[in-house]
Each structure stands twice: as structure tokens, then as C-alpha cells.
Structure 1
Amino acid sequence: MSGMKVIKPTTITAAMLTSSTVAEPAAGEVAWNAATAYAAGAVVIRTSTHMKYERAIAGATATAPESDPTNWLPAGPTNRWAMFDRKIGTDTTAATTITVVLRPGGISGLGMLELVGRQADITLKDAPGGTTVYSRTVNLDGTIITSVYDWFFLDFEQLSDFVLTDLPQHYASCELTVTVTSTTPVSVGVLQVGQVMTAGRAAMGATAGIIDYSKKEKDRFGNFDVIEGAFSKRCNLQVLTPAADFNKIFRAFAALRAIPCIYIGVDQVGFEPLIIYGFYKDFSMVVAYPLYHLCNLEIEGLSQ
């Protein structure tokens, strides 16, 4: 297998988001007004926190929702910021196109997850309005064609996750433009940029699966009552790491223990189940050979 990599995240701040074609408030979102009396269950947004809030008790209060937990409950990110909230299950949506322009500092990796669309275009300039130093177009049709019959008759299969790990990281003042397009509604669940760490070479025998949180119960007749719930990806990897990097890799993974990252078991089309956004549950290093060690990783994705 190929090299195992991790994209360590850069937190996107309001100052980094230069522009977005998704408005805030977006269609259907309502900005909070101190003078308005809200019914219980009403949802408003705050552009200062980029969050939605649900009214718990009917009435009007002069205190902003983010400072009034008695009357207002957090209800997730605004549509514009859902793609940056570092969570699975919240997405930014638009009619046919989403374009964002970022100034994230030096980055070498980009990951996009939970995508709905036909094409993604990524452009990196050396400075705002400067010279393009990196450009990539990603076809989001994940259909695998193996015959003429497949070409004509297979349905479109959405490529929902992809990663890029070759961005030129030495442009500290770079400007990144990302566009997702389609002729139908588009959505982006996660857009994460950051620094790429290469841990080593993934050995054969990696496993991928899911943890299902659906509820399945039998009644007294033996019939199942199924309530569909969320699920999360999981993956077990064994990575061959250089012995000289033992201390560096150990410290690097220890520092990531509470940070959601994009773990890339195999950076290759067709192996998307080995791209997981989440945490490692277990990490250990086996001093096995004179020149190489074995790094064992059990990775669990965020629920979706």
C-alpha cells in the first residue's frame, strides 16, 4: 500500500474567510432581534458567532442568545459556516454552486467530505490576487467504468470524499479558492485544510468498517423494530515507520489525541473508506526491526 498520512487541521476563523457565495443569513435564516417576542421553538442566527439558536421559552429578551442559555439553546452552525465547524452531519448547501475564498496561511493538505456535486475546483495563489501556483479539478463522479456497458448504463455515483496532499506549503500569505458545482443542489459537509504529516507506509491487511448506532429491538414475536440512527467509520491500520523517526512520530500522534483530523490510510481513488475524519482510539508503536518500527492505529470517525 501507499503512504499513510494525516491532515492536521487549521481552524478557519472569520478573518480567514475572505468571501463566500453563501449568504449569512442564508435563505430561511433569520437574524436575532432583541425587540422581537419569539415563540418557543423559533430559530434565529447570530452572525457574530455564526451559530443558530432555538428559543426554549416564549418571549423577548435583550440579552444575546449566546449569553442567554436559559432562553436560547445552541442549534448548530449557520449555513455558511457549517462546512467549517469540524463536525460530521452539518453541511453548507446552495442551489448549484458554492465558492469560498480563504487566507489560511501555509497549508499542504486539503480534505473535502460529505460532498454532493459534480466537480470541485481548487486554486491556490501565492498571495491575495497574486499568481496561481497550484490548480486542481476533481471530478466528483466516482463511478468505476470497466466496460462499454458500464459507460452507457451505470448510474452516477457520488464521490463524497477526497483529499489533496500536495499543496505548496511555503506560501504563508496564500489565497485559496474552492468551488463545488453541479446542475442540481450542492453541499459540502467538511472543508478542512492544514499541514500534512506522513507517518510511514501502510502495510497490507488494513480493515475498514462502520459502527452503527441504529436501534434494533425484537418484540415478543421475534420481529425486529428498527430505528435508523447515525454511524461512524472505523479503520485499523498497521504502518511501517522509519526507526529514525520513532520519537518524532510518537510525539506527533500524542499531540493529536484530542484533535479531529483527516486520517488517510491510502491516498488513492477507490479507497475512500480509508479516509476517516475523527480520532484514533488506540495508538501504539512496536519496536520490531532495526530500520523500521510498526505503528498500530485504531481510528474512529465522527458520527454521521
Structure 2
Amino acid sequence: MRIIEPITVTPAMVTASNVPVESLPAWNVGTTYANGARVIFDNGIWESVQASNTGHNPGADTLSQWWVRRGATNRFRPFDQRLGEGATGGATITYSIALPRTLNALCFFGLNGTSVRVRIITPGPNVIYDRTIQLASRQPAATFWEYIYNPFTFKPDLVLTGLKLPSGGTVEITINAGAAAQVGEIFLGNDIAVGTTLTGSRLGIVDYSKKDRDEWGGVFLVPRPVTKTVNFQFSIPTTAAARVQEIIERVTSKVCVFYAVDGEDPFGTTVAGVMRDYDLTLDAGRSFGTIQAESLT
């Protein structure tokens, strides 16, 4: 049982990218905006909610009387901690990110591409890591013929741990797709060992869709997001209980990456999301706990 605690990637850290930004005008203090007009301000997309909107700074409108933030711009969506809508580019997506501190993990979610190349450059500068990961994979098959005839798919998620991301260095990311490359979220952070994952861990989903029936039994569906849940069962030496408690307190109400095993995850336990519940039962020698995580939408 491990948790990757990400850092916040600020616009200043993104030193280069080929991802296009929406063709919307930047907010101007002297322009009068109509109801529904959209502008770019502070790397976000803002929509006017009133007519004759003049001189109202979107960032200072804390009550949303004049402006509502609709999300990040295309270039900065991979760093907004939401998986519903990511960055879209052409044949490739590239990012160069300056590292403000030493880190050891890099994660991608919501990928649409054939491969990901990661280069890590020290302040020297020296390239200390250069790896291309192919995303093509076969769907699980029950028989040989099923394996032969199943089409290739492409993994949407990628978790890289055990890296050396030095403070003051740069990580260069290239996502190749041939056309319309996409990435939902990119996390940079530190990988933390919590405990030993046990059998009995459970997978599930939460469906936020609305389902109603009329008086004749007809079904009315309003599709809404479905999130993934993982209930991790784990054990730790009881002497580590205080350390684990401190970790949990730190990541509570914070978007993190939760996973069960190193390397390829054949069980589907990797979740980028938030912790919903935590419990640890203290016992002599070893203690046993539960962490429930729910994915982002």
C-alpha cells in the first residue's frame, strides 16, 4: 500500500509546452463584456454572468457576482487536479517542467497516445534519465483465440516511481499519439510506503447518475460521472502506527495517487483521487488498517 503525494505545479514551473491555448481574448480592464462572454485570466477560462461587465477583475470576484471560472486553459488542464477534461494537442504533447524540490514519482492519467518519453535533466545540465514507455497493450483474454482476435488498446494511465527528480532540474515530457494526443492529469510528487497490501482489498464504483421511474415503470436516466473506489486492506508493524497516522493526516482532503503494488498494476487498484475513509486497529506486533480512496471525475 503506497501513496504518492503530489506537489502543486504552478504556471511558472511550466517553462515550455507546445500545447495550444484557446483562442479567447485576455481579460481587459477597459472592455465591456456581455453576459456569457468568455476570457482568459490567470491561465483560467472565465465566463461573464452579467451584462455591462466592465472593470471587474475575475480573480478578485470572490462571490462570483460578475465572473465564474469554468476551468483551466487547455495548456494547464493537466495540473488542475480534475480528470474530466484534459489537454489536447496535435501529434505530440510536450511539457518542460522546472523542479522546485527533489521528487521521486511521475504519474499520468487520462492518456490518449502510443508512447510517453520522459527525460530528466540536472541543473548541470546533464541528462540522467531518458526512457520511452510504449502504451500499447492487449485486453485480458480467457482463451488463446480471444487473445489473437482482441484488438490492441492503449493504457490510459502510467505511474513511474523510483525516479531521481533533482531540485533545480527539469523534467521533459513528450506524449506521442500520431494525431490528437491527450492527457488528463500529470502528477509530480513523492512516493510514500504506508504498509503491506493484503488480500481482501476491494474494487468498486460510485455512479452519480440519476435514475428514476415513472408510474408505469419507465426508466429515466440522467448520465453523470462514475468514479472508481478502492478499499485497501494493509498491515504495518505496530511501532510504525504514529508514522502512518502522520501521513494520513497530511494527505487528508488532498488529491493523491493511491496504489497497491510496484510496477504494472494487473488488479486495477491505482487511483488518482481523494481518501474517503481510514481506519487502523492497533494490535501487538502488527496492526491492520483500511484506506478507501475514490478517483477524481
2:276 pairs with 277, 281, 294, which one?
Answer: 281
Deviation, 1:117, is: 1.2
SS of the aligned residue for 2:118 comes to: strand
Range 151-160 or range 248-257, more displaced: 151-160
Q: Displacement of 1:151 after TM fit?
A: 6.6
Deviations along 1:241-267, whole A, 9 cap, x unmatched?
233322111111111112111111233
TM-score normalised over the length of structure 1: 0.89
In the TM superposition, what whole-angstrom CA distance separates every residue of 1:185-213 from its partner, at most 9, and x where no partner exists?
11111101111101121011211111000
The CA distance in 2 between the partners of 1:90 and 1:272, in whole Å, is 25
Does the CA-based 8 Å contact 1:279-1:301 persist in structure 2?
Answer: yes
8 Å CA contact retained: 1:84, 1:191:
yes
Identity across the alignment (%): 26
**1:299 matches 2:293:** yes
Match of 1:165 in 2: 161
Q: How does 1:1-304 map to 2 (within 5 A)?
A: 4-23=1-20, 26-46=21-41, 49-68=42-61, 69-104=64-99, 105-127=101-123, 130-144=125-139, 149=145, 153-169=149-165, 171-271=166-266, 273-290=268-285, 292-302=286-296, 304=297
Q: Is the 8 A contact 1:8 1:262 kept in 2?
A: yes
CA distance in structure 2 between the aligned counterparts of 1:122 and 1:116, rounded to whole angstroms: 16
Deviation at 1:123, TM superposition (A): 1.3
Q: Within 2, Cα distance between the matches of 1:18 and 1:151?
A: 43
Mapped partners of 2:288, 2:129: distance in 1: 34
CA distance in 1, matches of 2:153, 2:58: 41
Contact 1:34–1:60 (Cα < 8 Å) also in 2 = no
Structure 2 distance, partners of 1:148, 1:236, is 32
Q: Can you list the C-alpha shifts for 1:44-76, whole angstroms capped at 9, x where unaligned? A: 111xx2111011112241232222432211111
Aligned positions, number: 293
1:90-149 Cα deviation digits (max 9, x unpaired): 311112211101112211111111111111111111226x21222332222232476775
Look up the SS of the partner of 1:101 in the other structure.
strand
**Which one has the bigger strand percentage?**
2
Structure 1 residues not aligned, in runs of 5+: none
Secondary structure at the aligned position of 2:136 is classed as: coil
Q: Could you report, residue by residue, the CA deviation over 1:3-29 in whole angstroms, capped at 9, with x for unpaired residues? A: x21111111122211111114xx2433
Q: Is the 8 A contact 1:161 1:272 kept in 2?
A: no
Q: Is the 8 A contact 1:110 1:191 kept in 2?
A: yes
